[in-house]
Amino acid sequence: MAHILFFLLAFVCVISVLGMIISKNQAYNALFLILAFACTGGLFALLGAPFIATVQIIIYAGAIMILFVFVIMMINVREGLPPEKKKWTVYLSIGVVVVFLVELFFAVKGTLVPLGTAPVEHAATPANLGRILFTQYLYPFEITSLLIIVAIVGAIVLVKKKEEQ
Amino acid sequence: MIPLSYFIILSVVLFILGTIAFFIKRDLITQFMAVEIMLNAANLAFIAFAKASNSLDGHVIVFFIITVAAAEAAVGLAIILLVFRQRKTIKSEDIREMKG
């Protein structure tokens, strides 16, 4: 059962990312990306991480993609991109991909072991995660809130129209 | 149980697809989306390894990655919007010189 679910989610995820590569329309790209993020959230739930799965759906597939869709709406490029003229980026991407494949093959080679079953005290429930987040990782957590405030202020200051214009 | 290697292989595939999309696509927004795909692939690997090693640290790191990705998306999209206002284009090959 879990295998069927994994292969279904993985298939949909990879297919939607491929669709994002093939499609020329930015709005379609955003929708494909939402599908891919939702499938990744399902995979997180399959890995026994319900809190991260929820955060993935709400933050990634919800908030971040809403931001993307808003910017696509504001930019509103009517004419599509002209067909590709320069092909060197394709060759560069092929080279980078081959290097990554070799490197990651060596990284993955040793991981052919089954997943262990988590003992109860380390289960990734939201309660356990919140406890570790507010004890061991308290300072990174607070710094993250500062980072978000800085990002909000920075985004507003960047996009705000000048008064004298 | 699903073997750990399945998740790692899926993570590798997603990361490579994100890299390909970043190099092939030529508008800034889609390239930004490709970066998000790469972040997601890394998150998947983190959660898989956290599950394999019975540790909660991977979950915490993924939580922080998602938070930083949200902040990065806000600032990055603001920059893209600013570039579009000044240059009237979001094609990355048209943006060659950096002048304020």
The structural domains of chain A, with segments of one domain joined by +, span: 1-77, 122-165
Comparing alpha-carbon positions, the chain B residue that sits nearest to A133 is: B60
* Assigned domain for B63 exists: yes
Count how many pairs of residues, chain A against chain B, have C-beta atoms within 8 Å: 222
Highest average pLDDT, of A51-55, A124-128, B21-25, B87-91, comes from A51-55
Q: How confident is the model over A22-74, as pLDDT tens digits? A: 888 888 999 999 999 999 999 999 988 889 999 999 998 889 999 999 999 88
Residue B61 placed within a domain: yes
Chain B partners of A55 at a C-beta cutoff of 8 Å?
63, 66
Of the candidates B11, B69, B16, B66, the one whose C-alpha atom is nearest the C-alpha of residue B42 is: B11
Least confident of A75-84, B8-17, B21-30, B48-57: A75-84
User: Cβ contact (<8 Å) for B78 and A159?
Assistant: yes
**Domain range for B88:** 4-94
CATH fit for domain A1-77, picks 2.60.40.2240, 1.20.120.1200, 1.20.1250.20, 3.40.50.300: 1.20.120.1200
Q: What is the reported pTM?
A: 0.85
The DSSP bridge partners found for residue B3 are A114
Return the pLDDT at B99: 63
Cβ atoms A59, B70 nearer than 8 A? yes
pLDDT tier, B51 (very low <50, low <70, confident <90, very high otherwise): confident
Helix B57-87 and helix B28-52: axis angle, to 10°? 180
Determine, for residues B36 and A155 on separate chains, whether the beta-carbon distance falls below 8 Å. Answer: no
- Check residue A81 and give its pLDDT: 57
Tally of domains within chain B: 1
- Residue B100 domain flag: no
Q: Rounded to whole angstroms, how far apart are CA atoms A32 and A35? A: 5
User: Taking CB atoms and an 8 Å limit, are A152 and B81 in contact across chains?
Assistant: no
Contacts of B93 in chain A (CB under 8 A): 86
> pLDDT (tens digit, 9 = 90+) per residue, B69-81?
999 999 999 999 8
Q: What angle do CA B49, B58, A155 make, to 5 degrees?
A: 130
Q: Kindly state whether residue B99 falls inside one of the protein's structural domains.
A: no
From the list A3, A132, A147, the residue facing B56 with the nearest CB is: A132
Q: Which residue has the higher pLDDT, A129 or A117?
A: A129
A128-145: average pLDDT: 91
Q: Which residues pair with A114 in a beta bridge?
A: B3
Q: How far apart are CA B62 and CA A44, in angstroms?
A: 11
Q: Is residue B83 part of a domain?
A: yes
* B62 located within any domain: yes
**Which spans in chain A are helix H?**
2-22, 26-46, 50-55, 65-75, 88-108, 126-135, 138-159
ipTM comes to 0.90
Mean confidence (pLDDT) of chain A? 84
Query: Do the chains contact at A49 and B47, CB–CB below 8 Å?
Result: yes
Among A86, A96, A147, select the one facing B19 at the smallest CB separation: A96
- Residue A136 scores a pLDDT above 80: yes
Report the alpha-carbon distance of residue A151 to residue A130 in Å, rounded.
24
* Facing B30 at nearest CB: one of A29, A40, A84: A29
Inter-residue contact A37 to A45 (CB < 8 Å): no
CB contact under 8 A, A72 and B29: yes
